[in-house]
Structure 1
Amino acid sequence: MDSEHKAVVAVSSSTAINAPRHVVRDVLLGFASYPEWSKSFVSQVVLLDSKRKPLADQRTPAATGSWVRVTACLPNTTSTHVNDEVILELDAETGTLAWRYVGYWGALTAERIQTLHEAEDGTTVYKTHEDFWGPFAWILKWTSVPNLQAAFDVFGKELKERAESLK
């Protein structure tokens, strides 16, 4: 994604899902339904307008350049983070979703990409990867990598459970 920066921390996860890509895509991109199924990591994604205020209709399709407010909690912690992030890429056809967070004064920047790959047998592989850089990324590296990894893994598991229940 951002080739100008070298990640201090990188976290990845992959989950095989027994559902067609279009079903998984609809769950992944259906931000309004996250509170129904994503209980552990990213529990809410709220679409924002250009002034970063929540849109009245959360069913409005997001697009590249849209802003979202992401509520996330790492496993094994009580800390909840609410961050405004810009969507760098959203391809509804393929189910690709990428967003970027830039913290105060660039102290922490993160880019996350989520992709869906349909296998020949009709299953879908969900892959996610996030790079973190900036001075505060070192703090994450020293204190939070196991919890970040667990969070990515549990989000994939919850996405799998939701998509497989809808196929």
Structure 2
Amino acid sequence: MSLPPIATPTYGAGGNFTIACSTRIPATPTQCLDVVLDAPDYPKWNTFCRKCTIDVPSSTPSPPDAPSGDGYLTLGTKFTFDVHTGPAAVNDDGGAGRPTPLELSVLERIDATAEDGRRGWRVAWRMRPSLALPGFMLRAERIQEFVEAEDGNETDYACWETFYGVLAPVVRLAVGSKLTPAFDAWNSGLKARVEELRKGGK
């Protein structure tokens, strides 16, 4: 859904608009986070961002107990998403996506005191500026939170991305209506992949 701008860790308040989605996933926060950090696994579940390519690995170690492994994202990793929006986010048309360069900006535990005694994880990434698209023109940061449900066996998942800069209103007019179904596709794909892995899928 499209919402008024929500502040992000890097850029704070003052954005133009936010796209958000949420769901409950029958798995622990760490199991859910594992799927999001596993870059080589993206083609198996994500029709919005169909490929995640690591451009510059990070030397920053993952926090204790965070999922890690060969090809996993960690704090400071620079990577590129192959982004598809609109109907292609749901029905594969075989077309090329839009390369979107990003950097992992947050990977941290959510303290139990912050969520009514429930623990979890927070991960975020932001657009990498370039000569063709400097930050003052367009910048965005996506936050995902995985918080254990009351019974401790499920996860309340929330994801939102806020857009900033002089081009943000143009993005909203041009592709804003396509971003909501694309985020919904991300949401359902993540849930389905976590459930598949819990059943022993590969």
TM-score by length of 1: 0.84
Number of residue-to-residue matches in the alignment: 159
Amino acid in structure 2 at the alignment position of 1:48: D
Match of 1:75 among 61, 79, 86: 86
- Shift of the alpha carbon at 1:92? 7.3
- Shift of the alpha carbon at 1:62? 2.7
What percentage of residue pairs aligned between the two structures are identical?
26
Higher RCO (C-alpha 8 Å, min separation 6):
1
* Aligned counterpart, 1:132: 163
CA–CA distance in 1 between the matches of 2:77 and 2:37? Answer: 13
CA–CA distance in 2 between the matches of 1:79 and 1:48? Answer: 19
CA–CA distance in 2 between the matches of 1:33 and 1:149? Answer: 23
Unaligned runs of 5+ in 1: 51-57
CA–CA distance in 1 between the matches of 2:144 and 2:12? Answer: 20
CA–CA distance in 1 between the matches of 2:141 and 2:109? Answer: 19
The within-5 A match list for 1:86-125 is: 86-91=103-108, 94-101=120-127, 102=129, 104-106=133-135, 107-121=137-151, 122-125=153-156
Q: Is residue 194 of structure 2 the alignment partner of residue 163 of structure 1?
A: yes
- Shift of the alpha carbon at 1:3? 4.3
CA–CA distance in 1 between the matches of 2:154 and 2:125? Answer: 25
CA gap of 1:61–1:31, structure 2 versus 1, over 3 A, is: closer
CA–CA distance in 1 between the matches of 2:73 and 2:155? Answer: 22
The within-5 A match list for 1:34-49 is: 34-38=42-46, 40-49=47-56
> Could you give the per-residue CA deviations for residues 8-61 of structure 1, whole angstroms, max 9, x where no partner exists?
1211110111222222121111111111121x20111111227xxxxxxx9244
- Shift of the alpha carbon at 1:5? 5.1
Higher strand share: 1
* Aligned counterpart, 2:34: 26
* Aligned counterpart, 2:76: 65
Unaligned runs of 5+ in 2: 1-8, 58-68, 89-94, 111-119
CA contact 2:20–2:180 (8 Å) conserved in 1:
yes
CA contact 1:9–1:140 (8 Å) conserved in 2:
no
> Could you give the per-residue CA deviations for residues 79-129 of structure 1, whole angstroms, max 9, x where no partner exists?
721121111012378442211103512221111111101102311122111
CA contact 2:16–2:162 (8 Å) conserved in 1:
yes
Amino acid in structure 2 at the alignment position of 1:70: F
CA contact 1:99–1:112 (8 Å) conserved in 2:
yes
CA–CA distance in 2 between the matches of 1:92 and 1:5? Answer: 22
